[in-house]
Structure 1
Amino acid sequence: MKSVTRRDFVRTAAFAAAATKFITAARGQSATTPAMPAMPTASKVGAAPVRWLDGTAPNAFGGATWGLPWPRGQHGADTSFTLKAPNGAAVPVQTWPLATWPDGSLKWSAHAVPADISLAEHYEVEPGSPAAPAHRLTASESGDSITIDTGVITARIAKSGKVLVPELSRGGKAIATKGRLVCLLEDRSQPGVTRDQAFDGVIDKVTLEQDGPVRAVVKLEGRHSDGDRAWLPFVLRLYFYAGGDRVRAMHTIVFNGDQNKDFIKGLGLRFDVPMRAKLYDRHVRFAGQDNGLFGEAVRGITGLRRYPGPEVVAAQYEGKATPPLSEWAETVSSRLDYIAAYDEWTLSQPNADGFQIRKRTKPGYTWLMSGQGQRAGGYGYLGTPQGGLGFGLRNFWQSYPAGFALTGATSETATVTVWMWSPDAPAMDLRSYHDGLGQDTYAKQYNGGLAITYEDYEPGFDTPMGVARTSEVFLDVCAATPSREELTQLAAVTREPAVLITTPKHLNAAGVFGGTDIWRPADRSTPARAKIEDKLDWYFDFYHDQQEQRRWYGYWNYGDVMHTYDADRHEWRYDVGGFAWDNSELSTDIWLWLSFLRTGRADQFRFAEAMTRHTGEVDVHHVGRFAPLGSRHNVLHWGCSAKQLRISTAINRRYYYYLTGDERVGDLMREQLEAARTLVKVPPTRKLASADQPGDVARPEAKGQDRVGLSLGTDWGSLAGAWFTEYERTGSELMKNRLLTSMRTIGAQPHGFFSIGATMHLDTAEFSIAPEGSIGFSHLASVFGLVEICAELIQNFDVPEFRQTWLDYCVLYNADRETQEASLGRSNRGNLRQGHARLTAYAAEKLDRQDLAARAWEEFKGNNRWETYEPERKRLEGPEYIRPVDEAAGVSTNGTAQWGLAAIECLALVGDTWPAE
């Protein structure tokens, strides 16, 4: 490569026009890749195709919301849209903007369809007047409540008090009442003594976020209280769709207790259900293994010594009203009081591999084991032929310990509790997993634990204060007991709700998420491309299978993956300091989402969705001293003392938010707007200056309350992601000005992104100018979303000095020593060179330099020549592990994520320049 000085670079570099070429996804699939359905295409300019994520329309449907991107300048922000079925029929739809381009044109729109539409295999969105729903949803407010009417059911939602949802009714009849949140606490504040306390969710604030005509959203915020103590903040969002009888509830808690005293024993959503039938016409249903169903009556009439008659037995089994007693065999009807009736029923899933169903006649009497299996379907029903409540918890066994409890089934009013944390399991234990191991100084922490177990420990930092968890609950307000087939369908769409989404081709053509500057649809048109595509599939499939084989499940764990493997004991390092849970390290989230954008695979979407839910909630402190920063990888998700923007970054959340319009994820991104202020109190580099010095060393001098020291990579990139997203969503001039000011002052740094020592003004985002010669090389600077967000910023804003500075960095990071020294006065052969190949590829495409394109592929191949390296997937059986599993000893999550991102982005940018073999 020709040596290039920074001065020459600045003087001679020219930027290629943004490419508009698109690559059509090949139909061929690898052996491990699920066959994809044919993707619909838009029939006219300005339209967008919409498809079902799983390829076919669902058997049961309760309404849906999805996001659609649009090319810059194509539609105004206030454009009305219509939804068309393949036969040209207009389908009712509600539309609202999610984001705009800098010119004010529409970038992302959100769309919602009613529950009672005729389901087609695919649809098309185009400008036009939307069709009105057959049942228009209405929302009205009174002094003390909000009423939602879908045209099928009516919900009354309180604005204050302990009863959040006073009533869910259908046809003027109350089906479920007194909806409330419950928390059972095992108080261990006194050593050796436990005290059980019951807390109810109490409303602090209610917001009607959307009011129809197709979709309504109500947000309830509050805390749990027992009258003396109010704690454990919650957010409960309720979703309704026109023509629907299903309510979607998104339930979030934020832990703000003392992990050494407050042990949550139970966490649930509870409703009362009026029972308007005789005991033999009261029906209990639980979804079992696979499509199995447990179905019994409160008072069973089968298996008796006397037979009531075939019509009677069939009716009870099928969940219908039994014939009048006069039509029963008198030998049974005259002895009903001698048949036991069961008042309480439970389904408990204490782990990922086993559930049990029990029932008993009343408190004080024994429980009967009614059924067992491995993984329950996460759905149940209690009611009569006159109506009842269906209830489901998504990711039921994946987020164990979960459960359902039915009480009072023999009374006039029964109670249903959906347990997000079942009291049948041990109480939540959020304590530290060790006592600090004597690490009472920075020197011990840095040269001790970090050096041996990769754990960055500091007393008081390994706290769950402020971590959150979101659960998804579904409630079906039924006019009668559903048939067994209908119940299995409701259970199926609870486990995997119907998702509408557009195609990879349309997403890429719209230019969102960096467009062709970052990714393009999967393409196997050449042997070289096919080989890389196959390996991309291999890595995803391996992690997808590892989640199941290694049981990466549980209420606080589901959605995350492990960081590093221990080949000696054939186990991921779940118990070794900083090698355990990954916590988004090196952009695992982004790798998964870009993989989905390219392929449209349903399994990739759901894997990435679960990770987004987890990493945005559990790995981030939402209240308390460290809010809103995230925690670096650790045995416990919150255990590391490195509280960092690179983990809480909005960049990881943008994909799911724009593809779904999810309000909770929107809240999480908004939390990050002022995150830099926490770094004033918790400096990320506080230990580095004292790493080689014994004893206690004072922290670095504070920068004051208006300035903060930031890295230009992981820190500023994360802030820029939050500011940019907020600007897209709202048009905020404050956010735009912060972006432009920070970009310009980064561009003014003497050594660009290699500069160290600059501080940022917290209000204006202006960086001070670092001293000449203050140069640093960090292999982590660009691997937490900086590459991806810089591509979008350059795409959206014309800031020449920033664009040039970023291209300098892209060329120089992996450059040879002579080139680095000519430009920077020093050199460094940085780590993660293979992952940084995508930076070289970006510069090659933008500068139209074939030498850089060739260099990018050489970097991507790596020292061991990538084309000859194939991870070995070995089956372990017998005494090597506790059950049959696969291992690939050379695979790590850091390497996988960075290799995957390099592969995706190099294919997009220099894919046509793969060197001849």
Structure 2
Amino acid sequence: MDPFNRRDFLRTAALAGAMAPAAVQAAQAAPQTAPVGLDADGVRWLDTVPPAAHEGQTFGLPWPRGTQKAKASFTLSSSDGQIVPVQTWPLAYWPDGSLKWTGHAIPADAGRTPFLKVTPGKPVAPTGAVSVRETPDAVEIVAGEQSWLIPRKGPVVIARATVAGRETLRDVCLVALTQDKPDFDDGPVTETRFEGEVTSLVVEQKGPVRAVVKLEGKHCQGDRAWLPFTLRLYVYAGARSLRIMHSFVFDGDENRDFIRGLGLVGKAPLTDALYDRHVRFSGEGDGVWGEGIRPLTGLRRDPGKAWRDAQVAGQKTPGLEGMAPTVSKRLDLIPAWGDFTLSQPNSDGFSIKKRTKAGHGWIDAVTSGRATGLGYIGGASGGVAFALTDFWKRCPTRLDIRHAQTDAAEFTVWLWSPDAPAMDLRFYHDGLGMTDHAAEREGLEITYEDYEKNWGRPLGIARTNEITLWALPTTPSRQDFAAMAGRLRETPRLVATPARLKAAQVFGLWSPVDRSTPTRRVIEDQNDGLLAFYMKDVEQRRWYGFWNHGDVMHTYDSDRHVWRYDIGGFAWANSELSPDLWLWLSFVRSGRADVFRLAEAMTRHTGEVDVCHLGPYKGLGTRHGVQHWADSSKQPRVSNAAYRRYYYYLTADERVGDLMHDLVGSDESLTRVDISRKLPGAPQSRPEGAVDMGFGTSWSALAAAWLTEWERTGDKRWRDRITAGMDSIAAMKQQWFAGGADFDLKTGKFLGKGETVSVSHLNAVFGAVETHAELFQLIEDHPAYRNAWLDYCQFYNAPDAEFRAKTGAPAKGRNLKEGHSRLTAYAAVQRKDPALAQRAWQEFFSGDAGLGIGAVATERRIDGPAVIEPIIEIPRVSTNASSQWGLAAIQNLALVGDALEAARANLPAPKARGQDLGKDTF
């Protein structure tokens, strides 16, 4: 090892290790590469170890261009040589019509070996195949001994479920409770109960491995119908459950529509004796709270050990015959407990209480930490389990059981708990006197909030939650119940290996994790350290809750030792500068389960909560702010399909597919939202049918939606819309350096000559780099536009003289040098220019307006009265800088990684935000 490596890079690593907390040290000590499969065809379990059981699996798999015909069929084999039943459908196509992505489903408990392999061939049918029977009034899904009846219209979502002919569940409905004021401080409160009303049903898949049914409707009461919902019901062969993806959109008046409760309610018919009926709730870890409806334990008189043991275990007791008469003749004097509630008001504590029936007092049973969100009501002859995924993370939540002492218990899964204060979505301040654009720009100067009256409404925001129902033939044992809860906490999932993703050449610019040289190791360690820091901060800052879960904060306040949660545009990140892309590329190159789950939660959040799904801003996302919906800047850069593509293709998730499809016409919303309206000198009018559109923040985001729609459908009009924009940009004098122009909605072309240079550091950092990398894979016959993009990549970070020589304009507006180093690297590869590769690394290590190597080593512990509780912080961290540094690190390594070691001798000493590590540390 040469002296440079030993003296410099090892010292940098040692410094980082000495200063980093345990979470970061663990990340740095992780294996150099994650398991990626036996070969490039590999599909593996996300957590690397096959699960003991699962309720059915769906995953996406990419194919190299030209290798599989559009109507190809596939078979699936496990690493032990077994053929696994599989159902397959197309997700996306290459331009030549060959398959690019396929979706695959396997039955419950199938494929539990370390690796699986999909190959062309005839699939085998599963035992107990799923089938769908359609009538004019309903759809019945049959899977083995189970049957689920789903009406086409009306208030009932699931009419009944049977197991071996016995009705186990019935009358599943949606409910929303509202009040007209947030609380009684504002006067008398009027409460209203709305019931879900299904208006349409579509069967999307009919088996044999899985069936999918999509329901749509609204919540109704009297003449009012609101809160539109979409439900997808999934049933897999061999599964005991039905999975529900529940999505709703807020379309009310936030000043009078305060949601008090939002949930799903159903009934469980009961025929067992009261002492043979059981209730179960999952707690933390393997914890299970379980009791009988009429308890036989703890009595003054003993019914007998067999009876006590059976009830505790959830089994049928020997019955009255043989029970100690001192108990059997007094059973009616033992209270029967009919009502149970598990309430999770916050992310750190839940409670369970019970009562005999309505009109009588509640008795506290237990208080603990974080409930998994699984409940059960039933008896020895069958019952219903019900669960909400991410239960404590989506607080306030609740599970209810009512009337368990009658012939039909009622259960409710509350997405928003009635225990909690009513959902208050009102804007958080009164406008502070900002009544015109000049005043609003002043507000932006001080709090970084882009405020405008009535533009910060929650109209059109959405949320998706996952509910699971099990129709069970008997009460599950405590061990089985704990295992069910464990699969909710870390859902078993099959994923394509990084090797397979790379071999298929999907997802653009990335390469597998590689620590083969000292310099690479330093970069990889910092990326892992940053990921570990955000995972830790999700927990220590409690970034949980119904609307918040999945997002992270924007910028840190090192004086208060908190993120700037209450300071205008510095609060929630809302995808600003693409943290979604950083997380997903970190996953696809490593295969890490913890990174996947962090990215999954962000995708669920940012695609739903941060986007307007109806109303005047439909299809546009909301800029970062104190409330996710509150900033008045509504732009395509946030609703960006580039942020959703990864999750959709990796998981074949239909809801995310819907979200991307809904974006293809969102450019029309720009007729109502002039993004540049507040800028001094903004034009007062535009050509008819034209809107203002930036090339990066708007058009590239829209192009990601059009690209995805083209891939998914093969409809070339979306390709043509992209190329119309490309050609019109290429025809401009300043091309990409013009920054943006009027855009003709009908033709998809930009208007004007583009003679003025207008460079923004934001133009390329909202998915433009990643989207262009994929577009140029698919669209090869537009060389003028390719050169225009490469010029932008080459000259954005160029020295001032070179920039002026290229554009004829001063080098202004060029921030984020670190993040834009990946543009330089892309130009270096495409133009085969080694000097640009060297320059890319110089830019990356400059630390200018970014993060810098060594940032993770500045982590420190703060405790005592300076903080409410001890925390670990990076004093000058921002999600903007972390995301762009991470993306530049990943993409530079993929593009010009081979030039890194040769470039190191000419690199200056690196800088970290707020810290100069010194020349000797590098």
TM-score range relative to shorter protein: over 0.9
Matched with 1:725 is: 708
CA distance in 2, matches of 1:505, 1:858: 30
The corresponding residue for 1:94 is 87
8 A Cα contact 2:78 2:111, kept in partner: no
Alignment of 1:155 with 2:155, yes or no, is no
Q: 2:467 aligns with which of 473, 481, 491?
A: 473
Match of 1:879 among 865, 871, 881: 865
SS in 2 for 1:859: helix
Counterpart AA for 1:656: Y
Would you identify which runs of 4 or more consecutive aligned residues in structure 1 move more than 3 Å? 28-38, 863-871
Q: 2:763 aligned with 1:781, yes or no? A: yes
For residues 365 and 254 of structure 1, the distance between their equivalents in structure 2, rounded to whole angstroms, comes to: 37
In the aligned structure 2, how far is the partner of 1:482 from the partner of 1:613? 31
Alpha-carbon distance change, 579 to 29 in structure 1, aligned in 2, over 3 angstroms: closer
Do 2:734 and 2:754's aligned partners in 1 also have CA atoms closer than 8 Å?
Answer: no
Partner Cα separation in structure 1 for residue 57 and residue 298 of structure 2? 43
One-letter amino acid matched to 2:38: T
Q: C-alpha displacement at 1:916, in angstroms?
A: 3.2
Letter in 2 for 1:530: R
Structure 1, residues 168-218: CA drift from partner, whole Å, max 9, x if none?
Answer: 111111111001001111123995221111100001111111111111111
1 CA distance for matches of 2:651 and 2:113? Answer: 20
2:758 is matched by which residue type in structure 1?
G
C-alpha distance after superposition, 1:295-332 (max 9, x if no partner): 00111110011111111111000000000211111111
Moved more, 672-681 or 631-640: 672-681
Q: Which amino acid aligns with 2:492?
A: A
Q: From the superposition, tell whether residues 325 and 523 of structure 1 become closer, same or farther in structure 2 (CA, over 3 Å).
A: same
Amino acid in structure 1 at the alignment position of 2:873 = E
Mapped pair 1:38 → 2:35: yes
TM-superposed CA distance for 1:36, in Å, is 6.9
C-alpha deviations, 1:571-605, integer Å up to 9, x for none?
10101111000000000100000000111000000
- 2:844 aligned to which of 847, 860, 870: 860
Structure 2 partner of 1:17: none
* Preserved contact between residue 651 and residue 785 of structure 1 (Cα < 8 Å): yes
In structure 1, the residue matched to 2:904 is 916
Q: How far apart in 2 are the matches of 1:389 and 1:861?
A: 58
Distance 2:26 2:865 in 1: 36
> Which residue in the other structure is 2:679 paired with?
688
Counterparts of residues 575-724 of structure 1 (less than 5 Å): 575-689=566-680, 700-704=683-687, 706-724=689-707
- Paired positions, count: 873
1:806 pairs with 2:789: yes
> Alignment identity in percent?
50
SS in 1 for 2:890: helix
Structure 2 equivalent of residue 424 of structure 1: 419
The corresponding residue for 1:22 is: none
Q: Which amino acid aligns with 1:38?
A: P
What is the alpha-carbon distance in structure 1 between the residues aligned to residue 764 and residue 662 of structure 2?
Answer: 22
Residues 861-884 of structure 1, C-alpha deviations (whole Å, 9 max, x = no match)? 014794565541111222121122
2:885 aligns with 899
Q: What residue identity is the alignment partner of 2:406?
A: S
In the alignment, the residues of structure 1 paired with residue 746 and residue 512 of structure 2 have an alpha-carbon distance, to the nearest angstrom, of: 40
- CA–CA distance in 2 between the matches of 1:824 and 1:606? 44
1:313 pairs, out of 308, 316, 321, with 308
The residue number in structure 2 matching 1:54 is 47
> Deviations 1:362-414 (Å, cap 9, x if unpaired)?
11211011111010111111100111111111110000001101101000001
Specify the SS of the correspondent of 1:511: coil
Letter in 2 for 1:426: P
Q: Deviations over 1:483-542 (max 9, x none)?
A: 10100111111222211001111101111111xxx1001001101111100000000000
CA contact (8 A) 2:203 2:214 kept: yes
Shift of 1:709: 1.7
Q: Is contact 1:651-1:721 (8 Å) kept? A: yes
590 and 869 in structure 1: CA distance in 2 versus 1, 3 angstrom threshold: closer
Deviation at 1:289, TM superposition (A): 1.9
Q: Report the CA distance shift for 1:202/1:549 in structure 2 as closer, same or farther (over 3 A).
A: same
Indicate conservation of the 8 Å contact 1:32/1:541, yes or no. Answer: no
Is the CA contact (8 Å cut-off) linking 1:378 and 1:495 kept in structure 2?
A: no
Structure 1 position 840 matched with structure 2 position 824:
yes
Which residue identity is paired with 1:477? A
User: So what's the TM-score if we normalise by structure 2?
Assistant: 0.93
Aligned counterpart for 1:126 among listed residues 103, 119, 126: 119
Deviation digits for residues 656-698 of structure 1, max 9, x if unmatched? 00000000000110111111111111100000026xxxxxxxx
Q: In the aligned structure 2, how far is the partner of 1:88 from the partner of 1:323?
A: 46
Larger deviation, residues 181-190 vs 799-808: 181-190
- Cα distance in 2 for partners of 1:762, 1:702 equals 15
Alpha-carbon distance, 1:147 to partner:
0.7
What secondary structure does 1:916 align onto?
helix
Tell me the C-alpha RMSD between the 2 structures. Answer: 1.6
1:460 alignment counterpart: 454
Deviation per residue, 1:747-790 (Å, 9 max, x gap) = 22211111146222212211223243x11110000000000001
| C-alpha distance in structure 1 between counterparts of 2:179 and 2:124, whole Å | 53
Alpha-carbon separation, structure 2, partners of 1:283 and 1:679: 56
Is the partner of 1:257 in helix, strand or coil? Answer: coil
- 2: CA distance between counterparts of 1:99 and 1:362? 54
1:226 aligns to 2:221 (yes or no): yes
Residue 120 of structure 1 deviates from its aligned partner by 1.6
* Contact 2:572–2:625 (8 Å) recurs in 1: yes
CA contact under 8 A between 2:386 and 2:469: conserved in structure 1?
Answer: yes
Return 74-83 or 863-872, whichever deviates more.
863-872
Question: Structure 1 residues 35 and 327, CA, compared in 2 at 3 Å: closer, same or farther?
Answer: farther
Q: How does 1:171-182 map to 2 (within 5 A)?
A: 171-182=164-175
Contact 1:177 1:272 in 2 (8 A): yes
Looking at structure 1, the residues matched to 558 and 736 of structure 2 have their Cα atoms a distance apart, in angstroms, of: 37
Say which SS state the counterpart of residue 872 (structure 2) adopts: strand
Say yes or no: does 1:561 pair with 2:552: yes
Does 1:237 find its partner at 2:232? yes
In 2: Cα distance, 1:109 partner to 1:143 partner? 32
Shift in Å at residue 290 of structure 1?
A: 1.8
Distance across 1 between alignment mates of 2:285 and 2:468 = 19
Q: Which residue of 2 aligns with 1:450?
A: 444
Other structure's SS at 2:126 match: coil
Match of 1:761 among 736, 740, 744: 744
CA drift of 1:266 comes to 0.5
Which of 248, 251, 255 does residue 256 from structure 1 map onto?
251
Q: Does structure 2 conserve the Cα–Cα contact (< 8 Å) formed by 1:151 and 1:242?
A: yes
Counterpart CA distance in 2 for 1:451 and 1:564 is: 16
Decide whether aligned partners of structure 1 residues 79 and 444 sit closer, same or farther in structure 2, where only a CA change above 3 A counts. Answer: same
**CA–CA distance in 1 between the matches of 2:398 and 2:110?**
33
Report if the CA contact (8 A) 2:822-2:888 is conserved.
yes
State the distance in 2 between where 1:826 and 1:524 align. 42
User: Equivalent residue of 1:667, what SS?
Assistant: helix
SS at match of 1:323: coil
Q: Do the aligned partners of 1:36 and 1:55 also contact (CA within 8 Å) in 2?
A: no
- Which residue of 2 is the match for residue 504 of structure 1? 498
Matches of 1:780 and 1:187, distance apart in 2: 42
Could you tell me how far 1:820 is from its partner in structure 2? 1.1
Q: 2:800 aligns with which of 802, 817, 828?
A: 817
SS of the counterpart of 2:286?
coil
Q: What are the ranges of 5 or more consecutive residues in structure 2 without an aligned counterpart? A: 1-24, 906-922
Q: 1:810 to 1:884 in 2, by over 3 A?
A: same
Q: Which moved more, 1:877-886 or 1:116-125?
A: 116-125
- Is this contact kept in 2: 1:152–1:245, CA < 8 A? no
Looking at structure 2, the residues matched to 416 and 614 of structure 1 have their Cα atoms a distance apart, in angstroms, of 27
Q: Which residue of 2 aligns with 1:10?
A: none
8 Å Cα contact 2:108/2:238 also seen in 1: yes
